[in-house]
Chain A
């Protein structure tokens, strides 16, 4: 009887251990695939050719409160 009990408790530990491994593996896989879908954002450059150096933000150059605004439409194609 006690031998039987020992065996069944051993089996429970094995099953629990396997379950932990499976769950851990699934979490690791989901993190890997999430990483593939969205790469970390690229570093914003600040060197001499950068927008920061030229005080440009996505094509806008100058103060928000400027008295005069010149808009230039352009086509690169």
Chain B
């Protein structure tokens, strides 16, 4: 996640960061997408996004886990659980998969700058991404 380093540029109105999901598998990735989208219904996309990343690798994502996250974050759990149980965003998640595949993405993270894919092989480190963004702003 490089976006926090871009905060000043975003706040100045020169840069927009779009987090897009590419669920790489059909179970845990989809449940995680559902979790952030159901949280977004309550204006808590960002909080859920950070919470899932903070817990990545600690526990495997499941609907029970994301329901617990919703509770941890103080969401309306009844509405959140219903959203998850209704699979409200499963088709959206499949749409995200197709969209990413159509753009030729095969793994994550993947970055596009003004619509052009950033070749991660040319980067020395993740800090190069804010530098590329700065260069694009100054062009």
Is B a genuine binding partner of A? yes
- Interface residues, chain A, CB within 8 Å of chain B? 39, 41-47, 49-52, 54-77
**Neighbouring A residues of B43 by C-beta, 8 Å:** 44-46, 50-52
Min C-beta distance of B105 to chain A, whole Å: 6
Q: Which of B81-123 contact A (CB under 8 A)?
A: 82, 100, 105, 108-115
Contact check, A70 vs B129: say whether CB atoms are below 8 A apart: yes
Contact check, A72 vs B33: say whether CB atoms are below 8 A apart: no
For chains A and B in complex, what number of residue pairs have CB atoms within 8 angstroms? 177
Contact check, B17 vs A72: say whether CB atoms are below 8 A apart: yes
Instruction: Provide 17 A-B residue pairs closer than 8 Å at the C-beta atoms, listed in order of the A residue.
Output: A45-B43, A47-B74, A56-B45, A56-B46, A59-B40, A62-B10, A62-B15, A62-B17, A63-B10, A66-B13, A72-B109, A73-B108, A75-B29, A76-B35, A76-B56, A77-B24, A77-B29
Contact of B2 among A39, A54, A56, A72 (CB under 8 A): A72
**Neighbouring B residues of A56 by C-beta, 8 Å:** 45-46
Contact check, A77 vs B23: say whether CB atoms are below 8 A apart: yes
Contact check, B44 vs A72: say whether CB atoms are below 8 A apart: no
Contact check, A71 vs B112: say whether CB atoms are below 8 A apart: yes
